[in-house]
Structure 1
């Protein structure tokens, strides 16, 4: 009997291990290697893909937004100066939204680089410093607003004590607090069906999920994992990608299923780009990297 039990246990454990392995190994394309596109920057952040698969990212210390052209793997400056932009995201009309950290604003930038400032304050007080952005199905805008003291600011304290997540209505006429009770909210991403929003509280080393209501309000705050993140993205399997020490991938249940090591002191952000949305684009310190995946992004699904 003891031998039979040991055999069954071994088989069950083996099945479990194979299942986990197949889930993680299947994420990255066979034979794919991490490719460093460039290491000439100071601190890269905020990658966002356009409909053609090109990825825009920021080099905040050098006040630039750079474009990676997917077709020929080249880099070019899209905008300089760039409002000390941090996080980026494209709206449904192809405009680039930027968390313009210089004056704590939210920008909308058209294809010609012309800026329309959407937000300059909240209830008469200067925002802490918009950081990362996500746009819902209706065109409403969520953004995180932590406080990181910048050397180029004249102020040394926050005018708004709370570090919140805000929501701008689709008509851009109303801004409300969407999520509170966070230490330092940072990375943010939503599911393609528009029903769930993930927010990383890097200051408390937690990531939460929220249910998105039709009017943009958030309910049902639930702990997703005991890990914070600088930036984040999601794939077509519903897996969530968190950053910091490389890229750590969690399945929709909040279980860690894979880790992509990056040989940098810090990995700031990640998104999917490329014509087929199967290129994982990673910003880490002064570098940017790509990695071909078997899974793909969900932003521009037909």
Structure 2
């Protein structure tokens, strides 16, 4: 029996005792049928029929613990926040990705990749608005230690930083003279460097641009990548393996993780002490000629010289025999890894998985949609925001996110 089920039973016993006492008191003064509760009222969840309504007008679901927050290990009770519920903050997107929290602005920024825009949710009034359009089909976003926004752009195959004066700086668009594939996710380091992944997922019409004729994602040349783009747009061609890179403060681009180590790298994050780097390896991307990623998370040791070593498979992300494919990842201040989960049609397994620094599964958050990426935010950085397919969700936690953005 999972601990969440035990908590529900304990809560049910307490409610039954209370209701029985109220009914006995009422029976002494009220004529007519006795007031009684025949059994505990189980709140709806993602796996009930009908399923739970996560919207603002949905029925209450939380007595003490949200039914879709599942403790697999007892230590998860110290990370999950009681008396709070998973909330859907917004819906109507095509594919939500790249959530990032602006501590100065107190807003959440995220990407709606196919709609070629960035969205913003403001903390003070919950208003959602279009933040940047077009966004060059941006995917991952973050904020550095100076509060500047970082964006990975599929369409232009580059990494961009938005300065405080409103200008935009291209941080990386090529490596050794070859254009990048489609930068996906980015993390800032205290030394002023930026680390990013470069899989091929933007090499498709829906989320960016296919290669020019003859390229790996457009081998037959039947797709025209210039359709729908502004005059003068120059389409690219996949020229590099799916690697991870480090942008040095000097501007130099260094290769830090090869495709052989982590194929199709996607989300990445540092441990709180910046001595570990976690990289998610997702599925086979457009134009891949090899086997591609297998939905796993890898971890590296980060040396004082920024060299990575001792690569290990952190998790295969298989839970109860179900592949919970990772995408975006974040660490909390205790070093636990919070990873988004894509379980396809396995209802009840998409959402978020939480792992100890040793790779032990601690808990899960169930969502009714595939989750693409997560981040911590809010004024106390104790709220987990989840960009999941067509919607944005959030839930308070009992821990805080590590690092900015």
Please say if 1:150 is aligned against 2:240.
no
1:169 and 1:111, CA in 2 relative to 1: closer, same or farther beyond 3 A? same
- Specify every segment of 5 or more residues in structure 1 that has no aligned partner in the other structure, as ranges: 1-18
Structure 1 segment 161-172 matched on structure 2, within 5 A:
161-171=240-250
CA–CA distance in 2 between the matches of 1:101 and 1:300? Answer: 23
Higher normalized strand content (fraction of residues): 1
- Match of 2:338? 241
Distance 2:168 2:73 in 1: 46
Structure 2 residues without counterparts, runs of 5 or longer: 1-70, 217-236, 283-292, 318-324, 343-349
Alignment equivalent of 1:226, drawn from 309, 316, 337: 316
Candidates 291, 294, 300, aligned match of 2:398 = 294
Q: TM-score, normalised by structure 1?
A: 0.88
Indicate the structure (1 or 2) with the bigger Cα radius of gyration: 2
Is 1:257 aligned with 2:335?
Answer: no
Matches within 5 A, 1:1-20: none
Q: Which residue of 2 aligns with 1:274?
A: 378
Q: Report matched runs for 1:132-143 at 5 Å.
A: 132-143=185-196
Mapped partners of 2:102, 2:305: distance in 1: 26
Between Structure 1 and Structure 2, how many residues are aligned? 281
**CA apart distance, 1:67:** 1.6
Corresponding residue for 1:174?
Answer: 252
What are the superposed Cα offsets for residues 194-225 of structure 1, whole Å, 9 maximum, x if unpaired?
21110011122221111112332211112211
CA RMSD of aligned residues (A): 1.9
Change (3 A) 1:21 1:120: closer
Pick one of 131, 144, 164 that aligns with 1:91: 144
Report the alpha carbon displacement of residue 102 of structure 1 after superposing the two structures with TM: 0.6
**2:118 corresponds to 1:74:** no
The offset of 1:109, in angstroms, is: 1.3
Q: Matches of 2:165 and 2:108 in 1, distance apart? A: 16
- Give the superposition deviation at 1:292: 0.7
- The partner residue of 2:87 within 24, 35, 45 is 35
CA contact 1:99–1:130 (8 Å) conserved in 2: yes
Partner of 2:267: 187
TM-score for both structures, normalised by structure 2: 0.66
Task: State the match for 2:231 in structure 1.
Answer: none
The question of whether the paired residues in 2 share the 8 Å contact of 1:79 and 1:113 is answered with no
Residues 246 and 259 of structure 1 are in contact (CA less than 8 Å); yes or no, is this contact kept in structure 2? Answer: yes
**Partner of 2:170: helix, strand, or coil?**
strand
CA contact (8 A) 2:143 2:404 kept: no
Whole-angstrom distance in 2 between the partners of 1:87 and 1:177: 19
Note if 1:213 corresponds to 2:267.
no
Tell me the distance in 2 between the aligned counterparts of 1:122 and 1:161: 8
Residues 100 and 261 (structure 1), Cα distance of their counterparts in 2 relative to 1, 3 Å cut: same
State the Cα deviation string for residues 53-80 of structure 1 (Å, max 9, x = none): 4221111111111122122222222211
**Per-residue deviation, 1:160:** 3.0
Q: Distance in 2 between matches of 1:160 and 1:263?
A: 37
